[in-house]
Amino acid sequence: MGTEMSDDPRQRRIWEQHGQTIMLFVITSALGFATKTLWDSNALQASLVVQIKYLTEQVSELRQTLNSSQQNNVSRSEFVVHEQRLQALERTNDRRR
């Protein structure tokens, strides 16, 4: 009796349709997963682009602040005169003790 069912063309078509339905479900699921992954990846990339833009602006501002600060610093050659004066005052102070 089991051989009669497997030889039946109608039964064979039903099993083939079930197999096709399962394959279609698997392929559709894989495409859905790939689409979701791609969507999430693009959203993450957009977020990273915004963060990089913000950090680039911050670095630019820090460079400007650093350049401004360095322009206000006294160079070693400019400080030599003041250093000599301080040393002379220290020597004078040491002699008074």
Which residues of the chain, if any, have pLDDT below 70?
A: 1-7
Q: DSSP readout, 34-63?
A: HHHHHHHHHHHHHHHHHHHHHHHHHHHHHH
Task: State residue 76's pLDDT score.
Answer: 81
User: What radius of gyration, in Å, describes the C-alpha atoms of the chain?
Assistant: 40
Asked if 20 and 26 touch (Cβ cutoff 8 Å), the reply is no
Instruction: Determine the pLDDT at residue 1.
Output: 45
Domain ranges of the chain: 2-96
19-31 confidence digits (pLDDT tens): 999 999 999 999 9
